[in-house]
Chain A
Amino acid sequence: MTSLRTKFLSGIAAACLASAVSAETIRWGGSTDINSLDPYSYGSTYSLAFLNHVYEGLVRYDADLQIEPALAESWEIVSDSVWRFHLRQGVQFHNGAEFTADDVVASLTRVTHPSSPLRGNLPAFQSVEKIDEHTVDIHLIGAYPLLLNDLTNIFMFNAAWLRDNDSELPTDFGAGVEGYATFHANGTGPFVVEERVPDARTILAVNADWWDEPQHNLTRIEFTPITSAATRVAALLSGEIDFVEGAPVQDIPRLEAAPNVQVIEGPSLRTIMLGFNRRDTLADGRPNPFNDLRLRQAVAHAIDLNLIRDRVMRGRARVAGALVAPQIPGWSEDIDEPIPFDLALASELVREAGAEGFPFELTCNYDLWVNEEEICSAVVSMLTRAGLAPSLDIGPRAVQSPKMTSGVTDMFIFGWANEPMLDSFSILLQVARSREGTGGVFNWGGWVYPEMDALIDAAAVELDRDARLEMQNQALRIAREEMLMVPFHQQGMSWAVSDRVEYVLQQADNKVRHWLTRIAD
């Protein structure tokens, strides 16, 4: 028995020694695992943000979310549809290869291949041409103002590495083959992948030969996905991890009270809103009353946004009136005035629209937005008080999404962050515009506003930034007047760090940038 106890205690001692990490390692407890080491394999913003530590694009966002040069040093517009990029010289990939124009050609060809799930990230791309070792021309299908925004998210591979490992095409899991790039990485970024065990850990080590001046003092990032929120919080409290990017809202007071943990909060770019079915008839064949502007206004006036913010979101949201957050170009203060809560007016409008006691379904997920289930329950009771008869259809995202995209829902919850463009053109093109070509992919209600479409199409080819933003602002104004959607709030984001972390930058796009993180000595 004695020997057993000794063994047990020495086991504890050994574990303590093992967890005594060096000063420059940050232990990150992720809310989910990344899908793959291949940034072009799965449309996940989370994976892309993580892989940005390893791979880099031609341009990147700086600390104020403004675009700055990265692997491209400068660029110019040759003609409406041709952009020329001058590449940074002396940049090395992790395997020692030099970064050249061939790498840009191979990377852009790969991401725009028909079987690439991320093709949509470069909507205006036509072809890429090498001019010399450090210059490329990107040809577009026409004038397109947002190429730089798109390129922030397009990472550069090494052409020779792709060729040697038979990975020049994106991983095609339809064909039943594994890709080399799924398990191996070779970028130019500030960190090198040292080890990856899916669902267990991904270890990054600092890249000593990084071209940029490091702002961070990290030598290692140990990323462990901890999908259970309660366990993630426990691991942070017990000092097993230093950083979480998904602190659950209900645990924030507890984390704030802990002496060794600090919570970092802020409103994100993501606006949560309600959308309506706008076809002539609803999915079950009844005539659609939501085409009456008065009914849409009634819905907006019936919802008490402040109450949702204070009770459901526990104060961790910013009440909104516009479809985009203030940081998103195209926003202006006058269209962001929240629609006032006025139950009497709402009931009156419902009566005028002849929709008293009208039964319909509100479709929600429970695993997509912050406190989504509670928001939807609150909305159902608020609309019931205004004289409507809503019922709640709630389920996991995997089940609810197909219903929303196929347009069989009467009313649905919706969230949009304008990722990765960070420009209101994103929501206008993909949500507000009627369905055609690349437009209106998320136009789930089937609405058509020719006046708004004209503004969006004009903005799509307007290279003058101010003129373009003016058009987009007008389109957003029409959306507000027509009550295209009922905006609720920008949901909050909450990160938490242990006392070992001296500085971590949280930006409104909710992406982790550990190449700016500092650990206390």
Chain B
Amino acid sequence: MIVFLIKRLANAAVVMLIVALMAFVIFRFVGDPVEFMVNEQTTLAEREALRARLGLDEPVMVQYVKFVLNAAQGDFGISYRNQQSVMRLIAERFPATMELVLLATLISLVVGIPLGVITAIHRGRWFSEGLQFLSIIGVSLPSFVIGILLILVFAVTLGWLPAFGRGEVVRIGWWTTGLLTPSGRMAIILPAVALSFYQITLVMRLVRAEMLEVLRSDFVKFARARGVPARLVHYRHALRNCLMPVVTMTAMNIGALIAFALVTETVFQWPGMGLLFIQAVTFADIPVMAAYLVIVSFIFVALNTMVDIAYAIIDPRLRDAHS
């Protein structure tokens, strides 16, 4: 197990190094941050001097190695745009994104699993087919369109929910949460629903496919033959056998949701990591972009590793294969 863990950690380090390298190669195309930092009356010599002080005149590889050496010591530098430590900026935004992503995941499970079961057991009925059709819309509508539609209906027309922001937040240690205040709870509803749309569809379709599989199996037939009520057969016996892949996919997709949150956060002005990244791109804020990409890749690798470890614990055959 320890060998397995060390291997995975080494893996993670390599992935992050490669992501950072790719990021630095791409940064040559995002433009010149100095252009944004100085104002109109700055002379060419002063611009060059600033560029030199930021180390932007050095070759890409030198910049990259410097970044990696500093990052290894936990120092991601100072944001050009906010003049704050990048580490602190990201740490401040992380709770907002995580709350949003976890709530969206929860919504997708709570809504997606029952819908999946219903469409499976009522296969061929009009409402089941209708839900299937709606789910295609859920997958194909871009999330900013969903976001804007939700704002139009619930903020502008009905006036029930706020259109932007995170409301009042409560600080618990370094974590900030909006879930403990009424305005914070109101504010998270629309972005979480918008973010969960795609995921709901995914969960629903996965559960449906698994259910159809399980409903054909012998133990379900036996249960029916014994006269076990249909509700128990479906929701206790069959559903349980479907949940393993759903849980795996949900865990792995948290990474993807963090990436998707970028668009949702921009539409709702949700002060999370995605919004930070989008604005860093607009202003060519290289330290923030580099740190964001590395940290998100770390989250991806960490989630994958955790899923692998969980599998190894559950299934002894995998454990043996590794040791």
B164-A18 in contact (CB<8A):
no
Judge if A516 is at the interface, Cβ distance under 8 Å. no
Does B312 lie at the interface of the complex (its beta carbon under 8 Å from any beta carbon of A)? no
Q: Which of B42, B152, B275 has the most CB of A within 10 A?
A: B42
B77 within 8 A of A: yes
Given A176-B75, A200-B271, A240-B155; A36-B83 close (CB under 8 Å): yes
Separation of A119 and B88 alpha carbons in the complex (Å): 28
- Which of B39, B77, B84, B164 is A226 in contact with, Cβ under 8 Å? B164
Q: Do A399 and B30 touch across chains, with their CB atoms under 8 A apart?
A: yes
CB of A187 within 8 Å of the partner chain = no
Chain B neighbourhood of A32, CB < 8 A:
279
Which residues 189-247 of A have a CB within 8 angstroms of B? 197-201, 224-228, 230-232, 234-235, 237-240
Choose one: B49, B79, B163; the contact of A231 (CB below 8 Å): B163
Nearest CB to that of A37 among chain B residues?
Answer: B83
Contact B54 A174 (CB under 8 A): yes
- Residue among B41, B168, B183, B281 facing the most chain A CB atoms (10 A cut-off): B41
Closest to A198 in B: B82
Tell whether B283 is near chain A: CB-to-CB under 8 Å.
yes
Indicate whether A142 reaches chain B with its CB closer than 8 angstroms: no
Known: A15-B162, A178-B85, A402-B31. A121 touches B78 (CB 8 A): no
Q: Is B234 an interface residue (CB 8 A)?
A: no
CA gap between A12 and B75 in the complex, in Å: 43
Residues in B whose Cβ lies below 8 Å from that of A198: 82, 84, 89, 92, 271
A-contacting residues, B99-138, CB 8 Å: none
| A442/B40 in contact, CB under 8 A | yes
Q: Is B32 located at the chain interface by the 8 A CB criterion?
A: yes
Contact indicator A235/B163 (Cβ below 8 Å): yes
Q: Collect the chain A residues with CB atoms within 8 Å of residue B83's CB.
A: 35-36, 38, 41-42, 171, 173, 178-179, 182
| Cβ-based interface call for A350 (8 A) | no
Residue-by-residue, is B33-72 near A (CB-CB < 8 Å gives 1, otherwise 0)? 1011111111110100110011100000000000000000
Number of interface residues of A (CB under 8 A): 71
B35 touches A398 (CB 8 A): yes
Q: Which residues of chain B are near A228, meaning CB under 8 Å? A: 266-269
A458 to chain B, nearest CB (A): 20
Given contacts A117-B39, A237-B156, contact A441 B165 (CB under 8 A): no
The answer on a CB contact under 8 Å between A238 and B155 is yes
Q: Interface with B: A285-293, A430-438, A464-472, A491-499, which one? A: A430-438
Find chain B residues with CB under 8 A from A115 CB.
53
CA distance A230 to B85 in the complex (A): 31
> Lowest 3 A-B CB distances belong to which pairs?
A398-B31, A43-B39, A120-B41
Report which B residues bind A (CB closer than 8 A): 29-33, 35-44, 46, 49-50, 53-55, 75, 77-85, 88-89, 92-93, 148, 151-152, 155-156, 159-166, 168, 182-183, 185-186, 266-269, 271, 275-276, 278-279, 281-284
Q: Could you list 17 further interchain pairs (A-B, Cβ under 8 angstroms) beyond the known A29-B164, A441-B43?
A: A14-B182, A33-B279, A36-B82, A36-B83, A42-B37, A44-B36, A119-B46, A123-B41, A199-B275, A199-B279, A228-B268, A238-B156, A398-B36, A399-B30, A399-B31, A401-B35, A405-B32
Where the two chains meet, the residues of A that have a C-beta atom closer than 8 Å to any C-beta of B are 11-12, 14-15, 18-19, 29, 32-33, 35-36, 38, 41-45, 114-115, 117-121, 123, 171-174, 176-179, 182-183, 197-201, 224-228, 230-232, 234-235, 237-240, 367, 396-402, 405, 419, 426, 430, 435, 437-438, 441-442
